[in-house]
Chain A
Amino acid sequence: MNKLSERMEAAQEVLDGERVRWLLGKKTRLTQDENVYGRQIAENRYELILANAASTELERKLILKEISHQPRSAVEVAGALDMEPSEVLRHFIALRKWHLAEDAGEREGALLFRATPTKAATGSEGTKGG
């Protein structure tokens, strides 16, 4: 399990992240104005969407911290973070899609993942996820 200070750091990154900031900033527009289909998002539904987004982002940041130093499998990460391996694998797939994690081979039949080196770490151009 990450140390509390590391978890706090991950939470800060979540709050700095585009997804949560976008949702926070668009509350009025989402809940009071109608969208192009003439629909509004109810206040409680918005709260649920926001809480889910923040929770998912926090889990992904924690997973990235776990695999930033050495490649690890979904089961290892799940054990360290007290999560379900299937859930970790789901996050791995999403992280790979966004080029934040990459495959790092196999160990005893389990797929290993590692965090994609960042632009700052490598000094080269990073890939922007689409």
Chain B
Amino acid sequence: MPTEFRVIRVMCSGRVDPEHILKAFSLGADGVLVLGCHPADCHYIGGNYRTRRRIPLLRTMLGQLGIDPTRLRLEWVSASEGERFQQTITEFIGHIKSLGPSPVKQEVER
């Protein structure tokens, strides 16, 4: 499994505010992967539905800002799906590597 990722654990994917995601990109993250429980399987009833609403909007806004929207992804991975977690992370990091460093990071380094 790749090591170029950092896990930030929250109680529910609904806790991931769009502001957190933009902050991560502002600070130079190359990609953000939000992992949540499957729809209808939320411990907090509707947290993942809220996330599902926000992510497409954020992706649209990232595109408008000139950041590839595929740098942000939402996947459903439950706590018992270790193999799926590993596959999702590996695939996402591969995708981010193919895109190269984030344009925000490039601007900061200039």
Range class of the A interface residue count: 20 to 34
The reply to whether A11 and B22 contact each other, CB–CB distance below 8 Å, is yes
B contact patch SS:
helix
Stretch at the interface among B54-62, B78-86, B89-97: B54-62
The reply to whether B19 and A12 contact each other, CB–CB distance below 8 Å, is yes
A contact patch SS:
helix
Is there a chain A Cβ closer than 8 Å to B107's Cβ?
Answer: yes
Contact check: which of B19, B50, B61, B108 meets A16 at CB < 8 Å?
B19
Is there a chain A Cβ closer than 8 Å to B23's Cβ?
Answer: yes
Is there a chain B Cβ closer than 8 Å to A41's Cβ?
Answer: no
CA distance A15 to B19 in the complex (A): 7
Contact check: which of B56, B58, B66 meets A4 at CB < 8 Å?
B66
The residues of A with any CB-CB pair to B shorter than 8 Å are 3-5, 7-9, 11-12, 14-16, 20, 24, 27, 47, 50-51, 54-55, 58
